[in-house]
């Protein structure tokens, strides 16, 4: 088979700044072992997130020049709205400045004490917005999704039995919404099958619970359905996407992911009454409903990006990139989540660093080692991000200790990815030398963004 090439030429470039391991050791110490506190300039390959880090196309830049910056009723809004209506089939479209703004509005209205939101896995900002409202979020990932090293085609699926049991236990009237995260970001960028989306839809219908899709990576999910699910090989990506959204009552979306935009998001839905409440809040926190915290040019970039992201040559290259890196790591014996996720490669830090107990944050320790060795910035998705404390202040660890290497869209080439593999393998060969970490300062919510840490034997 021929090499799957990057399906673009490069017209504009940005220099990478190099530094030495000694300089990086100082930088890491100064940043209190938290990569969020390192300057981007001090990073060689930045895999912190795929959010807002996409390279825009020449067509997106051209569209931005046509941005209509009118306060109300701008042309750009109508292009944005009609694109989303066409792609999703959802009639009401509300722009927001990013995904979490859509979540904040939705959960302020639907949340509150005594309410439960059920999901395959809630993303961290989604969970935070639910909990901030006083409600509780419940993750009901399928069995396969719990074992990082055992491959399965759709590890992002909802556990349907657990879902129905949960509804019966909590009572449907206390569950304002079911949320399917597509692909499942915190669960490893793993896809959800069409069959699972359909079944979740049927269970939701049976109990009168609306279904929303957290649609950040809808195109990647559709591509996985096309290549892995029976009956979809001949279907176009837009038709698969349309079917996916057809089972939903609405969606939240971060345009910083599968819309190739550097900022933006939206809410879309069928329910007029809910939309009215959302727009009222939107005006208070984001802006008038035809711009929702975005410039007209942002709306244009998103509208173009949403179409481009569904191109098959792009999706083939995209999904191949994470698979290529994962395969190199598997060949070297590195414990990595299998199969590769859509937007990221996930290292299994518990098995990578078995000598570091979970209360010394093996994921965060590994993140530090990747930076020291190769200037690579990754993020922990484990007990630093999701850990809680019990009454005795003992850590209740997360189910998995992962390190996510998120691949920005259309930004890095194959040689960058080869370099990343080399660095990870070098760290793996020297893993015995890596030390655990302890927290010295943390915030009450979303602590991983700002927490300060230090090595346990400092």
Strand, helix or coil for residue 439: strand
Which residue number, 222 or 439, has a Cβ lying nearer to ligand PLP? 222
- Considering only 95, 148, 176, 265, the residue that binds ligand PLP (CB under 6 A) is 265
Strand, helix or coil for residue 297: helix
Count Cβ atoms below 10 Å from residue 387 Cβ, excluding itself. 19
- Considering only 104, 226, 256, 350, the residue that binds ligand PLP (CB under 6 A) is 256
Strand, helix or coil for residue 1: coil
Q: Which of residues 193-232 bind ligand PLP (CB under 6 A)?
A: 214, 216
Return the ∠ at Cα 144 (arms to 137 and 246), rounded to 5°.
60
- Considering only 34, 45, 48, 51, the residue that binds ligand PLP (CB under 6 A) is 51
Q: Which of residues 273-312 bind ligand PLP (CB under 6 A)?
A: none
Q: Classify strands 177-181 and 136-139 as parallel, antiparallel or unpaired.
A: unpaired
Min CB(388)–ligand PLP separation in Å: 20
Using an 8 Å Cβ cutoff, are 430 and 411 in contact? no
Min CB(125)–ligand PLP separation in Å: 5
Min CB(9)–ligand PLP separation in Å: 29
Which residue number, 24 or 409, has a Cβ lying nearer to ligand PLP? 409
Strand spans (E) along 288-428: 344-348, 376-377, 379-381, 388-389, 395-396, 402-406
Strand spans (E) along 374-448: 376-377, 379-381, 388-389, 395-396, 402-406, 437-441
Min CB(419)–ligand PLP separation in Å: 25
Is residue 190 involved in binding ligand PLP (CB under 6 A)? no
Residue 216's region, left for phi above 0, alpha for psi from -120 to 50, else beta, is: alpha
Min CB(217)–ligand PLP separation in Å: 7
| Selected range binding ligand PLP among 70-78, 249-257, 379-387, 407-415, rule: CB under 6 A | 249-257
The DSSP result for 178-220, as a single string, is EEEESSBTTTTSB---HHHHHHHHHHHHHHT--EEEE-TTHHH
Min CB(137)–ligand PLP separation in Å: 12
| Selected range binding ligand PLP among 120-128, 196-204, 306-314, 356-364, rule: CB under 6 A | 120-128
Which residue number, 214 or 298, has a Cβ lying nearer to ligand PLP? 214
Is residue 404 involved in binding ligand PLP (CB under 6 A)? no
- Considering only 123, 218, 247, 352, the residue that binds ligand PLP (CB under 6 A) is 123
| Selected range binding ligand PLP among 241-249, 251-259, 272-280, 448-456, rule: CB under 6 A | 251-259
Min CB(264)–ligand PLP separation in Å: 8
Count Cβ atoms below 10 Å from residue 178 Cβ, excluding itself. 28
Which DSSP symbol is given to 336? B
Q: How many residues at the interface with ligand PLP, by CB under 6 A? A: 15
- Considering only 120, 254, 326, 360, the residue that binds ligand PLP (CB under 6 A) is 254
| Selected range binding ligand PLP among 19-27, 238-246, 253-261, 346-354, rule: CB under 6 A | 253-261
Min CB(216)–ligand PLP separation in Å: 4
**Residue 440 φ/ψ, nearest 5 degrees:** -110, -15
CA distance 255 to 242: 18
- Considering only 34, 74, 119, 185, the residue that binds ligand PLP (CB under 6 A) is 185
- Considering only 181, 193, 364, 383, the residue that binds ligand PLP (CB under 6 A) is 181
Count Cβ atoms below 10 Å from residue 306 Cβ, excluding itself. 25
How far are the Cα atoms of 72, 80, 84, 125 from residue 87, in angstroms, in the given order?
24, 11, 5, 25
CA distance 392 to 186: 27
CA atoms in the 13 A half-sphere facing the CB of 408:
20
Using an 8 Å Cβ cutoff, are 429 and 369 in contact? no
Min CB(337)–ligand PLP separation in Å: 16
Q: Which of residues 79-108 bind ligand PLP (CB under 6 A)?
A: 98-100
Instruction: State the residue number with the nearest CB to ligand PLP.
Output: 99
**Residue 210 φ/ψ, nearest 5 degrees:** -65, 150
Which residue number, 28 or 225, has a Cβ lying nearer to ligand PLP? 225
Residues found near ligand PLP in the complex (CB under 6 A): 51, 98-100, 123, 125-126, 181, 185, 214, 216, 254, 256-257, 265
């Amino acid at each position: 088979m021929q090499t799957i090439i990057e399906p673009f030429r490069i017209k504009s470039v940005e220099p990478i700044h190099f530094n030495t391991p000694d300089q990086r050791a100082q930088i890491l110490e100064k940043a209190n072992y938290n990569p969020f506190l390192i300057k981007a300039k001090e990073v060689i390959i930045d895999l912190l997130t795929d959010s807002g880090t996409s390279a825009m196309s020449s067509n997106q830049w051209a569209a931005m020049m046509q941005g209509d910056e009118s306060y109300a009723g701008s042309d750009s809004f109508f292009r944005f709205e009609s694109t989303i209506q066409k792609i999703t089939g959802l009639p009401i479209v509300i722009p927001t400045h990013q995904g979490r703004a859509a979540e904040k509005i939705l959960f302020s209205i639907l949340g509150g004490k005594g309410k439960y939101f059920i999901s395959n896995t809630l993303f961290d900002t989604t969970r935070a917005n639910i909990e901030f409202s006083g409600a509780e979020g419940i993750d009901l990932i399928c069995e396969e999704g719990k074992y990082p090293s055992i491959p399965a085609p759709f590890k992002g699926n909802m556990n349907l039995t657990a879902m129905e049991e949960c509804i019966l236990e909590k009572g449907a009237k206390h569950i304002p919404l079911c949320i399917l995260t597509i692909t499942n970001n915190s669960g490893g960028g793993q896809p959800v099958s069409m069959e699972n989306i359909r079944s979740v839809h049927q269970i939701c219908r049976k109990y009168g619970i609306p279904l929303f899709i957290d649609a950040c990576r809808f195109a990647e999910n559709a591509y996985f359905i096309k290549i892995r699910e029976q009956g979809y090989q001949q279907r176009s990506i837009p038709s698969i996407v349309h079917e996916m959204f057809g089972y939903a009552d609405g969606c939240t979306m971060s345009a910083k992911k599968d819309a190739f935009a550097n900022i933006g998001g939206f809410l879309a839905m069928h329910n007029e009454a809910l939309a009215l409440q959302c727009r009222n809040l939107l005006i208070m926190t984001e802006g008038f409903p035809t711009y929702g915290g975005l410039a007209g040019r942002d709306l244009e970039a998103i509208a173009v990006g949403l179409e481009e992201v569904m191109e098959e040559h792009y999706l083939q290259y995209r999904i191949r990139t994470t698979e290529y890196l994962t395969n190199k790591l598997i060949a070297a014996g590195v414990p990595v989540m299998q199969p590769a996720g859509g937007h990221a490669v996930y290292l299994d830090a518990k098995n990578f660093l078995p000598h570091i107990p979970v209360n010394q944050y093996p994921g965060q320790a590994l993140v530090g080692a990747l930076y020291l060795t190769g200037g690579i910035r990754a993020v922990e998705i484990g007990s630093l991000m999701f850990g809680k404390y019990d009454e005795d202040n003992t850590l209740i660890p997360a189910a998995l200790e992962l390190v996510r290497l998120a691949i920005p869209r259309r930004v890095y080439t194959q040689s960058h990815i080869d370099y990343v593999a080399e660095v990870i393998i070098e760290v793996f060969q020297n893993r015995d030398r890596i030390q655990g970490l302890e927290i010295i300062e943390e915030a009450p919510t979303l602590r991983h963004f700002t927490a300060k840490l230090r090595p346990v034997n400092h």
